[in-house]
Chain A
Amino acid sequence: DVKVTQSSRYLVKRTGEKVFLECVQDMDHENMFWYRQDPGLGLRLIYFSYDVKMKEKGDIPEGYSVSREKKERFSLILESASTNQTSMYLCASSFRASNEKLFFGSGTQLSVL
């Protein structure tokens, strides 16, 4: 079965900390995405990557960066966490086109205190 694995289910961090969220997919997908999910706002795209070492800004990239050193791994970095970054973070991957079927991880609920 295809799988997208996010390293942490829950994370609690302090304001100002550097936070790493890791995501690994085992489907040899080209595209990987990071979304944040907030009630009433649906899913908002933070960053995506269509190839190793390539990245593109999504709709809300401010305060975030990403890294894709290997095809199967896509990391989201919060350089200096703030309370307004408390949210559910979802990683996803797709095979080729960026509007194809997305496979999601189970999410990381991040709380920044």
Chain B
Amino acid sequence: TQLLEQSPQFLSIQEGENLTVYCNSSSVFSSLQWYRQEPGEGPVLLVTVVTGGEVKKLKRLTFQFGDARKDSSLHITAAQPGDTGLYLCAGGRNTDKLIFGTGTRLQVFP
């Protein structure tokens, strides 16, 4: 059973556009991580959010954890070709292992 659903599954946009990726669950998580995976590489952690309603910014990327800690979003402003990759959310519950989302593949064209 997939506990974390991401949408959209694919996103293809032009440079300069804005986009939002969603990560949804019916379960509550104590923390939510976002990873980016570039072709030929393993995922790399971008951010961890731990408090309901928390917002974190990483340059043009804004991450939000839902108030009920069941969902999260990633918003990219003025996307660049360097943002291209697979974005994965991962939820943690106390000492239990991480659960990964289904992934969103983003392609940004120049």
Q: A42-B2, A43-B100 are in contact. Are A101 and B88 (CB under 8 A)?
A: no
Is there an interface contact between B45 and A99, defined as CB atoms closer than 8 Å? no
A113 at the A/B interface (Cβ < 8 Å)? no
Contact between B40 and A106, CB atoms less than 8 A apart: yes
List the one stretch of A68-76, A77-85, A90-98 in contact with chain B.
Answer: A90-98
Binary CB contact string for chain B from 40 to 53 against chain A (1 if under 8 A, 0 otherwise): 11111100100000
Question: Which of B13-21, B62-70, B89-97 makes up part of the contact surface?
Answer: B89-97
Residue of A98, A106, A107 touching B98 (CB-CB under 8 A)? A98
Known: A40-B103, A42-B102. Contact between A104 and B92, CB under 8 A?
Answer: no
Residues 50-97 of B contacting A (Cβ, < 8 Å): 88, 90, 92-97
A90 to B100, CA, bound (A): 13
**With A40-B102, A43-B100: A97-B95 Cβ-Cβ less than 8 Å:** yes
Which residues of the partner chain B approach A21 to less than 8 Å between Cβ atoms?
none
Contact of A102 among B9, B30, B43 (CB under 8 A): B43
Count residues of A near B (Cβ-Cβ below 8 Å): 23
| Cβ contact within 8 Å between B9 and A40 | yes
| A104 and B97 form a contact (CB under 8 A) | no
Query: A97-B95, A99-B93 are contacts. A92–B42 as well, Cβ < 8 Å?
Result: yes
Complex: A27 Cα to B29 Cα, angstroms: 27
Do B43 and A98 have beta carbons less than 8 Å apart?
no
Kindly state whether residue A45 has any CB partner on chain B within 8 Å. Answer: yes
Contact (Cβ within 8 A) B101 A98: no
A50 to chain B: closest CB distance in Å?
Answer: 10
Contact surface of A with B, Cβ cutoff 8 Å: 4, 33, 35, 40-45, 48, 58, 90, 92, 97-102, 104-107
* A-B pairs with beta carbons under 8 Å apart, 10 shown: A40-B103, A42-B4, A43-B90, A43-B100, A58-B97, A98-B96, A98-B98, A99-B94, A99-B97, A99-B98
